[in-house]
Amino acid sequence: MTILDGKKTADDIKNEITAQVTIMKSNGEKVPHLAAIIVGNDGASLTYVGSKVKACERVGFESTMVKLPSTTSETELLNKIKELNQNDDIDGFIIQLPLPIQIDTQKVLMAVDPTKDVDGFHPENFGKMALDMTTFIPATPFGILELLERYNVETQGKHTVVIGRSHIVGRPMSILMGRKGFPGNSTVTLTHSYTKNIAQITTQADIIITALGVPNYLKAEMVKDGAVVIDVGITRVADDSTEKGYRITGDVDFEFVSKKASFITPVPGGVGPMTIAMLLKNTLLAREQRKARN
Amino acid sequence: MTILDGKKTADDIKNEITAQVTIMKSNGEKVPHLAAIIVGNDGASLTYVGSKVKACERVGFESTMVKLPSTTSETELLNKIKELNQNDDIDGFIIQLPLPIQIDTQKVLMAVDPTKDVDGFHPENFGKMALDMTTFIPATPFGILELLERYNVETQGKHTVVIGRSHIVGRPMSILMGRKGFPGNSTVTLTHSYTKNIAQITTQADIIITALGVPNYLKAEMVKDGAVVIDVGITRVADDSTEKGYRITGDVDFEFVSKKASFITPVPGGVGPMTIAMLLKNTLLAREQRKARN
């Protein structure tokens, strides 16, 4: 059994990006610039955005954090987005979700210039992905592809079962695993809350990608010997023995599933750390595309 | 066993649209206007576009056929598209495929104003579909959904297997069957040329949608009793006993599969006739959206 080490892989990617930025600088080129908009004071959101800014600093990107009060109106946010769309110094930007209830999230995501949409949430970019065109792939699915690629996990002709149909993980993952190329060319089954006999389906899978958010959901008896198991679940479970009072738990009953799997991602340290690395990669791509256009 | 009668259903839809257009006219409103661009003189393409124009006449739509020579350059075609994008009298338009080799099809499809893209081929519309937003659904998948809906075929919690991952049928169909709502909420498996043990997968399916283009590919032993079978295959098979010298054959070995199926589409007369009806429906939707915006 091989652990798909997301922490190490993310570090490798960040080092590679740092090297590229160093070359850009020595050539006197503009370095990638990522902006992040955060509305309100949600603790988890602030932590996520903080990590993204820190990651930018580490690889030598410029970064801008735009903090707006929780009372921000939809129009005010749309105006800010327009400003970032028009600001030629910004290569890409993200809007930290969730947004306060007075704001229509879909409308806001639609307002982002697709060429700066490094989260890959704009329908045009999502459609390009589904139509096998080059585009920004949402960070979590992109991170999973990168792990499969770097560990040379065979996907062609394999049966991949995806659990959960969210817009940010399950749906795009199901599309990407069935696309032409590598990683891809998988037979893909997308399962969700209406799926019957889920264990009957997962036991047939060569690759299982679970993005459900239910701790220890995937038991050993649901997995066949030698399966590849990717755990996208991140749930805080109360745990008095830890300093924070909780621990992060995945969807996979790791202790027992890991005994049957050929490859498996741990939680934490698997898919999670890859997400920010792939956001950086998308921002670098946005910079390169902007340069090629100008 | 129930035949999903596409010819009758398409007629019903056309009659419903005709009734709506009659009301529009009596209210002194502009009626929907569909334009079709055809480049070159391919016989099959001319026939398809001809049928679309005829269907417009039948329901009372305005229609415009733009015929360009096979030597048309990409720039000339893009200019014509720009003209149709800007022409406020045109509610929707389509570009008949395939295009001559000197023209980049993807670039051309990207140039269509998404609000006029009644074929649903623009990445923005494809992405909206994949993100559960209201949009133009490509005509063939849309026609299949409509058949399932009008015949009250249960899809929720069923296992749907789609054969073939083309951009115009298999890929969108796999997305649509797994979306929330009805028809939808299916567990969906998308299979293709790299799929191993296809019969092992199809025999588990409650619903099979085949879009392969291989005559009589789906045999009775690949189908479980009571399955719903949707045949999107349209292949011309030489047949001297017919006047034209060929007959249209589907992917399904109809004689034997129909004995096991609960619902089945015939070829011809199944999915085929639905396609044009759904193009008209998209054009009506485009007209209504344009009216709401102005």
Q: Which residues of chain B have pLDDT under 70?
A: none
Residues A95 and A169 in one domain: no
Residues B160 and B269 in one domain: yes
- For A123, the closest of B131, B196, B201 (CB atoms) is B131
Round to whole Å and give the CA distance between A24 and A232: 34
Residues A99 and A42 in one domain: yes
A205 in B contact zone (CB under 8 Å): no
Token couple for A206: 């060569």
C-alpha distance from B227 to closest chain A C-alpha (Å):
16
Q: Is residue A290 part of a domain?
A: no
Q: How many domains does chain B have?
A: 2
B52: Cα within 13 Å, side-chain hemisphere: 32
Residues B110 and B198 in one domain: no
Round to whole Å and give the CA distance between B195 and B258: 25
Res. A18 pLDDT band, cuts 50 70 90:
very high
Round to whole Å and give the CA distance between A124 and A118: 12
The amino acid sitting at B86 is: Q
| Omega prior to A172 cis, within 30 of 0 | no
A160 in B contact zone (CB under 8 Å): no
Query: Does residue A244 carry a pLDDT above 90?
Result: no
Domain with B41 in it? 28-114
Q: Is residue A76 part of a domain?
A: yes
Residues A67 and A186 in one domain: no
Instruction: Decide which of A70, A94, A112 is a domain's last residue.
Output: A112
Q: Is residue A126 part of a domain?
A: no
Residues A247 and A175 in one domain: yes
Q: Is residue A186 part of a domain?
A: yes
| Residues in B touching A195 (Cβ below 8 Å) | 157, 187
Is A52 an annotated catalytic residue?
A: yes
pLDDT at A24: 97
CATH number at A173 reads: 3.40.50.720
Query: Does residue A294 carry a pLDDT above 90?
Result: no
Residues A219 and A106 in one domain: no
Average pLDDT value over all residues in chain A: 97
| Residues in B touching A206 (Cβ below 8 Å) | none
Is A251 an annotated catalytic residue?
A: no
Residues A83 and A201 in one domain: no
Residue of B175, B182, B190, B191 to mutate, interface with A, max A Cβ within 10 Å: B190
B183-195 core/surface letters (b: 16 or more CB in 10 A; e: else): bbbbbbbbbbebb
Q: Which helix (H) or strand (E) holds A212?
A: none
Q: Which helix (H) or strand (E) holds A92?
A: strand A92-95
CB contact under 8 A, B187 and A196: yes
B166 in A contact zone (CB under 8 Å): no
Instruction: State which residue of chain B sits closest to A155, comparing Cα positions.
Output: B194
Query: Does residue A252 carry a pLDDT above 90?
Result: yes
Tens digits of per-residue pLDDT, A174-208?
A: 999 999 999 999 999 999 999 999 999 999 999 99
CB contact under 8 A, A130 and B185: no
Tens digits of per-residue pLDDT, A30-87?
A: 999 999 999 999 998 999 999 999 999 999 999 999 999 999 999 999 999 999 999 9
CB contact under 8 A, A157 and B124: no
Residues A62 and A157 in one domain: no
Mean pLDDT computed over A263-282: 97
C-alpha distance from B167 to closest chain A C-alpha (Å):
6
CB contact under 8 A, B131 and A126: yes
| Residues in B touching A187 (Cβ below 8 Å) | 189-192, 194-196, 201
Report CA torsion sign: A226, A231, A235, A241. positive
Q: Is residue B2 part of a domain?
A: no
CB contact under 8 A, A157 and B122: no
CB contact under 8 A, A123 and B122: no
Q: Are strands B246-249 and B235-238 parallel, antiparallel or unpaired?
A: antiparallel
Query: Does residue A124 carry a pLDDT above 90?
Result: yes
Instruction: State which residue of chain A sits closest to B184, comparing Cα positions.
Output: A194
Residues A50 and A176 in one domain: no
CATH number at A98 reads: 3.40.50.10860
pLDDT at A44: 87
Residues B52 and B110 in one domain: yes
B154 in A contact zone (CB under 8 Å): no
pLDDT at A38: 97
Residues B73 and B156 in one domain: no
CB contact under 8 A, B187 and A175: no
Tens digits of per-residue pLDDT, A147-184?
A: 999 999 999 999 999 999 999 999 999 999 999 999 99
CB contact under 8 A, B133 and A125: no
Res. A268 pLDDT band, cuts 50 70 90:
very high
Residue of B189, B195, B198, B202 to mutate, interface with A, max A Cβ within 10 Å: B189
Round to whole Å and give the CA distance between B88 and B76: 20
pLDDT at B44: 87
Res. A120 pLDDT band, cuts 50 70 90:
very high
Q: Is residue B133 part of a domain?
A: no
Q: Is residue B10 part of a domain?
A: no
ipTM score here? 0.95
